[in-house]
Amino acid sequence: MNQIWKKPPISLESYQALVGREIGVSSWHLIDQKRIDAYADVCEDHQFIHVDPEKAKATPFGTTIAHGFLTMSLLSVMSYEVMPAVEGTAMGVNYGFNKLRFISPVKSGKRVRGRFTLAKAELRRPKELQSLTNVSVEIEGEDKPALVADWIGLIYLT
């Protein structure tokens, strides 16, 4: 398996014992205009609020802002820094969200980080672990988060 996690793997029992605990906080990730423009190209969303700094100055934000889905897309890389892998993992996949809310816009040039709390970790089948992780993406220097989510993952065990 591709080792993308930054922490060493732990047993299934140890992982389940983390339920109810904050697992950790990721490093800061810069959301600069270059990243916003690249994301706009990939998803074909070139709304001026994201890609035109001159027009965006006239908005209540005073500058361009990141796409909400761009901020959401960073959850994976943030989770690899914080969440431990489960020993015997063959693969993990996104299963969706029970809740996802974009609370505050991320202005170009700001940094964000993810705060992760494991809410559930239950076997659906003998080799299929479903997890629920509460995530808050914080914006450096701001009181309100960029987003909050209840993120569902499936871990397939060997």
**Confidence category of residue 3, pLDDT binned at 50, 70, 90:** low
Band the pLDDT of 7: cuts 50, 70, 90. confident
Would the pLDDT of 1 be above 70?
no
For the record, the structure tokens of 28 come out as 């800061």
CB 17 within 8 A of CB 86: no
Under the banding of pLDDT at 50, 70 and 90, the label for residue 82 is: very high
Mean pLDDT, range 105-110, rounded to an integer: 98
Query: What pLDDT does 5 receive?
Result: 77
- CA torsion 111-3-73-130 (nearest 10°) is -120
Residue 2 has pLDDT above 50, yes or no: no
State the average pLDDT over residues 50-67: 98
Q: What is the mean pLDDT of residues 87-102?
A: 96
Superfamily for 22-30+66-157?
Hotdog Thioesterase (3.10.129.10)
* Domain chopping of the chain, boundaries: 22-30+66-157
pLDDT of residue 99: 97
CB atoms inside a 10 Å sphere around CB 113: 20
Instruction: Provide CB contacts within 8 A for 149, sequence distance 6+.
Output: 72, 75, 97, 99, 100, 101, 134, 135, 136
- Write the burial class of residue 3 (CB in 10 Å: 0-12 exposed, 13-18 middle, 19+ buried): exposed
Residue 41 reports pLDDT greater than 50: yes
Query: Is residue 64 pLDDT above 90, yes or no?
Result: yes
pTM to 2 decimals?
Answer: 0.94
Share of the chain above pLDDT 90, in %: 95
